[in-house]
């Protein structure tokens, strides 16, 4: 049973009690506690359950690497799952719930999985996939769905704010332990701009807990002095609670600052993402302790030796009255001494090494602590959920119990692994140490920057320097090397340090070394994902040799801790099973972020209205005030239709179309792309860009054209107006303007750079209004100012002039089949013109129409729409647009590709009109069914629907589609599939449904 | 996140300001070209693990396309240069050959 000690706790303030709740139970802690410490202080040893078997779990670590003590924090929109209790600072009113249990943490139904564990071996998911389909659907899927997912998402949306901060520094130092501080002290003496980050709420890392002396003072004192010096240095910036998350190309780094998690309600953003560009990066990220693999090592009450020491020294919390320490190295003896110093009992130190004679074991023996060398833990005994004893055996043997030792906590240490994540993110390579049995950075194979020079260095334990004086010297030297690279001269120094001598460790990957299969199936490697020694050995036995494959097969290292505890032990076991040295097995890839960062901080301020810019035409406000039902078109908003009160969308669209065809409609066409192409070679350039001839177009005339890419596929279409000898105005689709402008620039800058052509995207310079319908000319004449008669302005002509005393350019073009004028006016006068037109058009019941009416009217006329009839695989020939493909031109973009055999094939599906026999509307995207099935057993097809609408003009469904040999099959009836599995019949017809001779537009 | 100096506006720009455009110095094959030449132009790319001449556009800046010589594994940039050329300038070839004497464009 864990409890609070009456004294001690260097990080807590006993004068400031704090109330919090865990699973609805009220508890007390102190300011400075983390949640795990506070839970232990309240006797709450079990903090969560594992993911797969729902086994009860206690806290195993004391920092960011914690795999077990994951909780859901907060409530409502502020609820956040999967938060590590070890990195959660306690505050008044904190509420937390445990995860992966039902109905309660103490009694969990899912724990039955544990007794079924032999049916859920490594590769369970993969093996399951090959079972019969029925078993999958009724047996496995429900099980996996129920057990999948870790924690619950918050609901509703997140009320907090997040921000991104940008900074350029000369030297970024990640990690504020003594190594990071020493590196910063070295750099502080120069004028290099330095940023020092520490992920926790306090500086100095583990040194104060380990009790080192530096420069003749206690580590704690040395840290205080270092901070004073750094805070006074004008070139150094310090950030606590700020985790160096990832190192990226060319000196880029991300850091995750938790600004107000520890004081909810405080002003400012909750989290901040630092986007850092650094000249040089030093990672002083320390090391993580490894668990030992013995049977029962996942039981609540078993934790890392360093963690147990942290809870005593930092928080004044006793994880248990009688502690057994089990180790393969000297460092764990510090835990034994800390336990003893706090007045608790060390039942025994079980050391797997044959002998332990260094100063630390000696100090323990001198303190009267029993030390058993050459021994191992054979098993862990529980009574209910409380740890009661361990069985001791010989490490060399198979696990025969020599003795049972009563205890209520076990401190384990399998040695330390440098945190090489940030070194590795951008290509830093690793070496295997045969002294310390860990991977450490290979200083000869470093990440390189844009100059090909080293830009990441490690400092301290992250370099593999394990003893305090080595840590400080190494940190200073790394800083000097980085500073020299930046052009600053600096001097390294090695502060003296004591209390750090350690004897050699021994590699112990399985305890005892001859453990049976049964024992190995109780030795946990990955605590969160329930991966055991037996699972990794099974993977090896089943032929998995790559560590990356084994990881995915067993889920080793795939939990939220990303293998921080499990990876080295796991790959050592794999190496053992494959009978190959560990370096040959290698590590899995280290990827950012180092620890999980919030989704909120990734989005930063870019949510809701600021997610992306919203483009509004000059008439946007009018549309809004007149019932616009908005549709997003790229970043624009366009009215889909204008609904009157009580009117359905369908009714509105029908009304808009009927009014336009019968009398007069108007459309805001301002979003249409408008690109000016000008210069002596403009005609030549457009001849290359368009499939048809543009250079022969006369000033004052318009021509419809198609643009293809070099693959021959149709990209965009629109009307080109020649303004004068040298200038053309190119109209593109609304969504395509920016892309087509970039396309033009690409060819002009990179291929035909000697051509005298200039382009400018004028899309937003002009508002454009389409006035459409039999009364369109009458309206323009009523506005007055220019001759728009049939004689003065024939179809496909344009003219500059004045209408209603506004400067305009009028194009007589039509996308609806009606008499139609598109009027361009400077954007700032767009609304004025629109309002004048609306006012003047009242006598003809002028009706604004939206994008849906536009779509239906163009479909009634058989006009194609980019994105409906095209999808990036359609060529103009498929759409019967051969008339718009010049035979005379030697070259244009796409011409060569369209001559390729597949493009010229007669088997390509071609555009036709489709009319359902029953008059209904064909489902969008439906396929025309053909006889038989393909080799996958899927129904053969012979065409598909590309556009489908209800035509109010014709009172029936109309559609366009691409059909095999379509134009040769007029009148044939095809079957089209529906979502419900049935089919609907439609006849192949001419795609022009309305006014086939164009009499309405040519008046 | 890579950074390049735009040879037009002189700004050292982060990748977020730029758009990548694939291999540089492709020779365009148009109508009349053989199937083999056209296939090479449309589809076949060097994709080296090594020095790569590539196209970038300063899309969130001056809008200009430029070319860069970059090592795809070490990420070293040997220089950026105008897009209006059929081969890298001598100075950039020199920079590359200083490290990779055998390198051929």
Domain limits, chain A:
1-158, 162-287+417-491, 523-585, 665-868, 906-989
CA A914 to chain centroid: 43
Using CB atoms, which residue from B15, B38, B55 is nearest to A750? Answer: B55
Q: What is the DSSP code string of A292-355? A: --BTTTTSTTEEEHHHHHHHHHHH-EES-SEEEEEESSSTHHHHHHHHHHTT-EEEEEEE-SS-
Q: How far is CA A84 from CA A257, A311, A417, A879, in A?
A: 16, 15, 21, 59
**What's the CA gap between A803 and A837, in Å, rounded?**
10
Q: How many CB pairs under 8 A join A and B?
A: 73
A742 contacts in B (CB within 8 Å)?
57, 59
Using CB atoms, which residue from B1, B41, B77 is nearest to A252? Answer: B1
Sign (positive or negative) of CA dihedral A762, A766, A770, A771: negative
User: Which listed CATH number (3.90.420.10, 3.40.640.10, 3.40.50.2300, 3.30.1360.120) goes with A665-868?
Assistant: 3.30.1360.120
DSSP letter at A797? Answer: B
Name the interface residues of B facing A (CB cutoff 8 Å): 1-4, 14-15, 21, 28-33, 35, 38, 41-42, 55, 57, 59, 63-65, 71, 73-77, 83-84, 99
DSSP letter at A137? Answer: I
Q: What share of chain B is helix, strand, coil (3-state, %, to 5)?
A: 20, 30, 50
**What's the CA gap between A43 and A27, in Å, rounded?**
10
Using CB atoms, which residue from A250, A449, A895 is nearest to B30? Answer: A895
Q: Is the domain defined by A906-989 classed in CATH 2.60.40.10?
A: no
Q: Indicate the pairing of strand A665-668 with strand A673-678.
A: unpaired
Nearest CA in chain B to A894: B30
Check: CB of residue A206 under 8 Å from CB of residue A306: yes
- Bridge partners, A977 (sequence order): A983
The pLDDT score that the predictor gives to residue A147 is: 61
Where helices occur in A12-156 by DSSP H, the ranges are: 35-41, 112-115, 124-129, 133-135, 141-147
DSSP letter at A885? Answer: S
Using CB atoms, which residue from A249, A749, A890 is nearest to B1? Answer: A249
B63 contacts in A (CB within 8 Å)?
745
Closest Cα of chain A to B91: distance in Å? 15
Q: What is the DSSP code string of A569-600? A: HHHHHHHHHHTS-HHHH--PPP-S-SS---HH
**What are all long-range contacts of A123-130, with beta carbons under 8 Å and residues at least 24 apart?**
A123/A538, A123/A539, A123/A542, A123/A553, A123/A554, A126/A553
Check: CB of residue A884 under 8 Å from CB of residue A704: yes
Domain A162-287+417-491 class?
A: alpha beta
| Torsion of the alpha carbons at A419, A424, A430 and A432, rounded to the nearest 10 | 30
- Cβ density class A383-397: b for 16+ within 10 Å, e for less: eeeebebbbbbbbeb
- Cβ density class A671-702: b for 16+ within 10 Å, e for less: bbbbbbbbbebbbbbbbbbbbbbbeebeebeb
Q: How far is CA A651 from CA A225, A655, A656, A762, A852, in A?
A: 77, 6, 9, 35, 12
Q: Indicate the pairing of strand A939-951 with strand A956-964.
A: antiparallel
Q: What is the DSSP code string of A242-276? A: EEEEEE-GGGEEEEEEE-STTSTT-SS-SEEEEEE
**What's the CA gap between A344 and A318, in Å, rounded?**
8
Between A547-554 and A567-578, two packed helices, what is the crossing angle to 10 degrees? 110
Check: CB of residue A175 under 8 Å from CB of residue A197: yes
pLDDT along chain A (1003 residues), means of 10: 94 97 96 97 93 88 95 88 95 91 65 60 64 64 64 78 97 98 98 98 95 93 98 98 98 97 90 98 98 97 98 97 97 97 97 96 97 98 94 97 97 97 97 96 97 97 94 97 96 86 93 95 93 94 92 90 92 95 93 95 92 95 97 95 96 98 98 98 98 97 98 97 98 94 97 97 97 98 96 96 97 96 98 98 98 97 96 96 95 97 96 97 96 93 97 96 97 96 96 93 88
Nearest CA in chain B to A747: B65
**What's the CA gap between A451 and A428, in Å, rounded?**
16
Nearest CA in chain B to A752: B84
> Cβ–Cβ of A277/B31 closer than 8 Å?
no
The pLDDT score that the predictor gives to residue A158 is: 85
Per the listing, tokens 């994105």 go with: A867
Q: Is the domain defined by A1-158 classed in CATH 3.40.50.2000?
A: no
The pLDDT score that the predictor gives to residue A136 is: 64
> Cβ–Cβ of A250/B28 closer than 8 Å?
no
The full set of domains in chain B, from first to last, is 3-99 (3.30.2270.10)
Q: Indicate the pairing of strand A456-458 with strand A271-283.
A: parallel
**What's the CA gap between A177 and A475, in Å, rounded?**
11
The pLDDT score that the predictor gives to residue B105 is: 79
Q: Which residues contact A404 (CB under 8 A, 6 or more apart)?
A: A381, A389, A390, A391, A392
Closest Cα of chain B to A896: distance in Å? 4
**What's the CA gap between A271 and A245, in Å, rounded?**
13
Using CB atoms, which residue from B2, B21, B63 is nearest to A249? Answer: B2
Question: A872, A893, A867, A891: which is closest to A713 by C-alpha?
Answer: A872
Question: A385, A174, A388, A376: which is closest to A280 by C-alpha?
Answer: A174
**What's the CA gap between A9 and A312, in Å, rounded?**
7
- Cβ density class A46-76: b for 16+ within 10 Å, e for less: bbbbbbbbbbbbbbbbbbbbbbbbbbbbbee
**Structural element, H or E, at residue A520:** helix A517-520
> Cβ–Cβ of A900/B35 closer than 8 Å?
yes
Question: A692, A674, A671, A696: which is closest to A683 by C-alpha?
Answer: A696
> What value does the CA radius of gyration of chain B take, rounded to a whole number of Å?
14
CB atoms within 10 A of CB A965: 16
CATH number attached to the domain at A523-585: 1.10.10.1100
The pLDDT score that the predictor gives to residue A1002 is: 87
Tally of residues, chain B: 105
Q: Which residues contact A514 (CB under 8 A, 6 or more apart)?
A: A396, A397, A398, A399
Write out the E strands in A433-477.
439-441, 456-458
> Cβ–Cβ of A250/B2 closer than 8 Å?
yes
Using CB atoms, which residue from A427, A448, A749 is nearest to B64? Answer: A749
Q: How far is CA A265 from CA A160, A269, A608, A668, in A?
A: 9, 10, 22, 47
Q: How far apart are the first and last CA of chain A?
A: 95
Where helices occur in A136-218 by DSSP H, the ranges are: 141-147, 178-188, 207-210
Q: What is the ipTM score, two decimals?
A: 0.98
Question: Using omega within 30 degrees of 0 as the cis cutoff, is the peptide bond preceding A145 cis?
Answer: no
**Structural element, H or E, at residue A948:** strand A939-951
């Amino acid at each position: 049973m864990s409890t609070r000690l009456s004294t001690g706790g260097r990080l807590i303030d006993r004068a400031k009690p704090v109330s919090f709740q865990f699973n609805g139970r009220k508890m007390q802690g102190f300011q400075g506690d983390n949640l795990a410490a506070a839970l232990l202080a309240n006797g709450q040893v079990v903090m969560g359950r594992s993911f797969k078997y729902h086994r009860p779990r206690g806290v195993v670590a004391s920092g960011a690497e914690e795999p077990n003590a994951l909780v859901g924090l907060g409530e409502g929109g502020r609820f956040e799952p999967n938060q590590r209790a070890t990195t959660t600072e306690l505050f008044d009113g904190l509420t937390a719930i445990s995860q992966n249990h039902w109905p309660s943490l103490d009694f969990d139904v899912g724990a039955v999985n544990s007794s079924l564990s032999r049916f859920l071996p490594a590769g369970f998911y993969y093996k399951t996939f090959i079972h019969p389909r029925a078993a999958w659907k009724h047996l496995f899927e429900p099980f996996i769905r129920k057990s999948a997912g870790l924690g619950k998402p918050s609901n509703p949306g997140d009320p907090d704010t997040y921000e991104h901060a940008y900074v350029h520094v000369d030297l970024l130092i990640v990690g504020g332990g003594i190594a990071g501080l020493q590196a910063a002290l070295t750099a502080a003496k120069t004028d290099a701009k330095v940023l020092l980050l520490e992920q926790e709420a306090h500086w100095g890392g583990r040194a104060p807990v380990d009790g080192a002396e530096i420069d003749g003072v206690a580590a704690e004192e040395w840290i205080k002095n270092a901070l004073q010096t750094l805070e006074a240095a004008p070139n150094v910036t310090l950030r606590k609670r700020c985790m160096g998350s990832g190192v990226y190309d060319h000196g880029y780094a991300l850091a995750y600052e938790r600004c107000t998690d520890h004081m909810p309600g405080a002003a400012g953003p909750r989290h901040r993402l630092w986007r850092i560009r650094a000249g040089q990066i030093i990672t002083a990220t320390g090391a993580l302790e490894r668990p030992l693999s013995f049977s029962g090592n996942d039981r609540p009450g078993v934790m890392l030796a360093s963690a147990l020491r942290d809870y005593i020294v930092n928080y004044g919390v006793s994880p248990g009255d009688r502690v057994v320490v089990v180790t393969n190295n000297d460092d764990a003896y510090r835990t034994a001494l800390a336990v003893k110093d706090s007045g608790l009992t060390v039942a025994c130190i079980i050391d797997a090494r044959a002998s332990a004679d260094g100063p630390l074991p000696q100090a323990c023996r001198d303190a009267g602590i029993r030390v058993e060398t050459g021994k191992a833990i054979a098993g862990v005994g529980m009574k209910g959920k409380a740890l009661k004893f361990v069985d001791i055996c010989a490490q060399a043997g198979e696990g025969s119990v020599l003795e049972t030792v009563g205890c209520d906590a076990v401190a384990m240490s399998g040695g330390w692994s440098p945190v090489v994540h940030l070194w590795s993110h951008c290509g830093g390579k690793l070496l295997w140490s045969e002294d310390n049995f860990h991977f450490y950075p290979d200083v000869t194979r470093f990440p390189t920057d844009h100059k090909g020079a080293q830009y990441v260095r490690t400092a301290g334990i992250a370099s593999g320097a394990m003893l305090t004086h080595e840590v400080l010297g190494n940190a200073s030297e790394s800083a000097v090397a980085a500073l020299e690279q930046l052009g600053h001269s600096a001097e390294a120094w090695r502060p003296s340090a004591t209390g750090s001598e350690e004897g050699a460790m021994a590699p112990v990957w399985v305890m005892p070394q001859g453990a049976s299969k049964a024992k190995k199936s109780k030795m946990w490697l990955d605590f969160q994902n329930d991966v055991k020694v037996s699972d990794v050995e099974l993977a090896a036995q089943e032929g998995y040799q790559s560590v990356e494959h084994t990881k995915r097969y067993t889920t080793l290292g795939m939990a939220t801790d990303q293998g921080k505890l499990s990876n080295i032990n796991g790959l050592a076991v794999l190496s053992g099973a494959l009978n190959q040295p560990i370096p040959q097995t290698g590590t899995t890839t280290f990827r950012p972020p180092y620890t999980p960062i919030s989704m909120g901080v990734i989005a930063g301020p870019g949510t809701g209205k600021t997610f992306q810019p919203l483009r509004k035409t000059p008439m946007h406000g009018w549309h809004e005030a007149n019932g616009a039902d908005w549709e997003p078109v790229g970043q624009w908003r366009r009215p889909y239709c204008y609904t009157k009160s009580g009117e359905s969308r369908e009714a509105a669209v029908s009304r808009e179309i009927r009014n336009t065809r019968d009398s007069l409609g108007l459309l805001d066409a301002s979003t249409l792309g408008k690109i000016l192409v000008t210069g002596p070679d403009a005609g030549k350039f457009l001849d290359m860009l368009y499939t048809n001839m543009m250079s022969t177009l006369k000033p004052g005339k318009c021509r419809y054209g198609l643009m293809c890419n070099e693959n021959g596929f149709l990209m965009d279409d629109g009307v080109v107006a020649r303004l004068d000898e040298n200038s053309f105005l190119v109209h593109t689709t609304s969504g395509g303007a920016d892309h087509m402008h970039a396309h033009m620039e690409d060819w002009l800058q990179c291929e035909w750079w000697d051509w005298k052509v200039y382009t400018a995207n004028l899309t937003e310079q002009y508002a454009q209004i389409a006035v459409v319908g039999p009364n369109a000319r009458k309206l323009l004449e009523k506005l007055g100012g220019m001759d728009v008669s049939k004689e003065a302005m024939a179809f496909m002509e344009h003219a500059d002039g004045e209408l209603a005393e506004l400067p305009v350019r009028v194009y007589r073009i039509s996308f609806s089949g009606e008499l139609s004028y598109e009027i361009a006016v400077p954007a700032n006068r767009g609304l004025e013109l629109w309002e004048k037109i609306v006012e003047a058009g009242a006598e003809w019941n002028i009706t604004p129409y939206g994008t849906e009416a536009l779509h239906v009217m163009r479909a009634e006329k058989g006009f194609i729409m980019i994105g409906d009839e095209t999808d990036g695989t359609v060529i103009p020939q498929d759409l019967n647009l051969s008339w718009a493909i010049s035979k005379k031109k030697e070259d244009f973009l796409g011409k060569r590709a369209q001559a390729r055999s597949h493009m010229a094939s007669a088997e390509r599906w071609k555009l036709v009109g489709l009319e359902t026999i029953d008059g209904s509307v064909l489902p969008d995207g439906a396929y025309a069914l053909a006889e038989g099935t393909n080799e996958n057993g899927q129904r053969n097809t012979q065409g598909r629907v590309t556009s489908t609408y209800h035509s109010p003009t014709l009172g029936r469904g109309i559609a366009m589609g691409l059909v095999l040999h379509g134009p040769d099959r007029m009148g044939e009836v095809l079957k089209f599939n529906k979502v419900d599995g049935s089919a609907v019949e439609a006849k192949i017809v001419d795609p022009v449904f309305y006014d086939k001779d164009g009499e309405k537009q040519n008046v | 996140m890579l950074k390049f100096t735009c040879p037009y506006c002189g700004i050292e720009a982060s990748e977020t300001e730029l758009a990548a455009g694939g291999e540089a110095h492709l020779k365009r094959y148009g109508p009349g070209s053989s199937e083999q030449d056209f296939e090479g132009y449309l589809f076949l790319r060097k994709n080296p693990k090594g020095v790569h001449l590539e196209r970038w556009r300063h899309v969130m800046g001056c809008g200009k396309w430029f070319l860069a010589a970059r090592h795809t594994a070490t990420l070293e940039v040997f220089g950026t240069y105008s897009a209006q050329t059929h081969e890298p300038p001598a100075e950039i070839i020199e920079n590359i050959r200083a490290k990779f004497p055998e390198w051929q464009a």
